[in-house]
Structure 1
């Protein structure tokens, strides 16, 4: 049995516990208890989440041993540092456990313990710059869902903890079972670790249904040219009105927004499929591979080949 220990402290973010459902569903899909999950704290007893919800925990003792330790983050990592005894424990545990992880701002706990020194790591996007400033020896990659660097795992914020846990299940039990778990959890897709934390649709955040409908239409038809006239028709506006309202509501021109949607779709295909870059370019509405490369350089600062190379390297690191 794989034994998973969650390290909690007062003020922990309750979303971290949602990832435990991944291991629960893995047991259900497997038909046997392949995972045992327990909550721990340094002194045991009730620990209160940032919401105020009390959670019972077991006390950590010198004999406490787990296959995997997962440190939960707090909602205010800069003003609520982890207890020194918890840091000392994690340093000891890292020499005995198979892997140690930090969910969301739990990465700060690992960094404080010195476990991220000279390693790649990620955290909630809102705190990535703070992590890099406070821990200059950590190679912070802010735009990642989760990162595996040897035995140390870190995830981005909130729901990314589910992706990290699902990746652990895949490593332990195989891709097919992990897909079944994702299906049980009604997860739209299993996000790869290198996938961006940000959603272009969320960033645009239009205020009206008519602009949202136009964006939904665009996302479903990225594989062909999209004109302002076509999108305006979906929004039941004249092209001139549409451009003005669109820019007012999203802060971007229609052309810029559509390029962002194309980039997001292309990056996801590069990360999760084996299609050629030429095929991905055409499928996501770029004229050709060269046109997609130019857009990638503008949007991400790296060419598509580098994104694919990073994903393959990350996959090798997880083996």
Structure 2
């Protein structure tokens, strides 16, 4: 992308274009659109004009909802957001659409994608050499198709220069809130988050994964054990303790647990401790108290776990993400 894009004073309406295609995920479109609509309502003026664009006059979303669209155009615009969805592979095979994206990137201030919309940006070559994220369930496919992109599997959203990418579905709301914050300040972004009943306006560096949520997709045989672990993180959760709690022999427990969940019991304990520690730090709990509450034994042990898994120390995490 070049610097040949329009500039918008703070009191001027910014045009936001959301690119759609047949089979688009409806929340990828309506989530960001509602953020910008609330910015107008709560910001006291026409801060944004949102336009839904497609090659078709009407697009049927994956949920069966049909949305009316404007034609692809070259009107002055501030931001293009590419939605994702099951129809993205078909959209990637449309030369006119890819050509429009390449041209648009030269004319706007920001290019962005929600969920698998990153596939379209990558197909247009707009992510080559850049850090990017997409829905966790399509990361392997994305990495194989676009080896020139520096794919990161964990963040909710990423910004690399003038190009923004976000993870699955609701992460598009986080991305749009971050754009409003960049344009008009944190106060308005937080007001919109409250209006949307978003519990926390998540910073982009936070993970799109939830360990308890991921474990719900594993075999229910260990559901009670996982709930017990989460409630007893202060304890010494050795393999012996966990096997006894599961009512299995040590050897049988270790083997069956890995077969059913894809990880060792110790890895699950470590991930649950880390997730709980992150939440406590974000709430303002002191580092030493967080280490004790999560069963790390010492602040240094917790620091090593944070650096190994997240690349930052607990104090740095707290400074970055404290609510």
Counterparts of 1:48 and 1:168, CA distance in 2: 27
Counterparts of 1:111 and 1:240, CA distance in 2: 46
SS, match of residue 295 in structure 1: helix
SS, match of residue 304 in structure 1: coil
The residue number in structure 2 matching 1:24 is 37
Counterparts of 2:110 and 2:36, CA distance in 1: 15
Say yes or no: does 1:153 pair with 2:164.
Answer: yes
State TM-score, norm by structure 2.
Answer: 0.78
Number of aligned pairs? 300
Sort the Cα spacing of 1:129 and 1:61 in 2 relative to 1 into closer, same or farther, 3 A.
Answer: same
The residue number in structure 2 matching 1:291 is 301
The residue correspondences of 1:42-81 to structure 2 (distance < 5 A) are: 42=55, 44-62=56-74, 64-78=75-89, 80-81=91-92
- Flag structure 1 segments of 5+ consecutive residues without an equivalent: 233-237, 313-319
The residue number in structure 2 matching 1:315 is none
Counterparts of 2:105 and 2:314, CA distance in 1: 32
What CA deviation, in whole Å up to 9, does each residue of 1:162-218 have, x standing for no partner?
Answer: 11111111111211221121111111211121211211001111777x976775676
Say yes or no: does 1:259 pair with 2:265.
Answer: no
* CA RMSD in angstroms, aligned pairs only: 3.6
- Flag structure 2 segments of 5+ consecutive residues without an equivalent: 1-12
What CA deviation, in whole Å up to 9, does each residue of 1:212-237 have, x standing for no partner?
Answer: 67756764675x43669xx99xxxxx
Counterparts of 2:203 and 2:59, CA distance in 1: 32
Say yes or no: does 1:12 pair with 2:20.
Answer: no
Sort the Cα spacing of 1:76 and 1:289 in 2 relative to 1 into closer, same or farther, 3 A.
Answer: farther
Q: Is the 8 A contact 2:23 2:88 kept in 1?
A: no
Q: CA deviation at 1:17?
A: 1.8
State TM-score, norm by structure 1.
Answer: 0.79
Counterparts of 1:124 and 1:255, CA distance in 2: 27
The residue number in structure 2 matching 1:34 is 47
Which residue among 301, 307, 312 is the counterpart of 1:304? 312
Counterparts of 2:182 and 2:229, CA distance in 1: 36
Counterparts of 1:241 and 1:17, CA distance in 2: 48
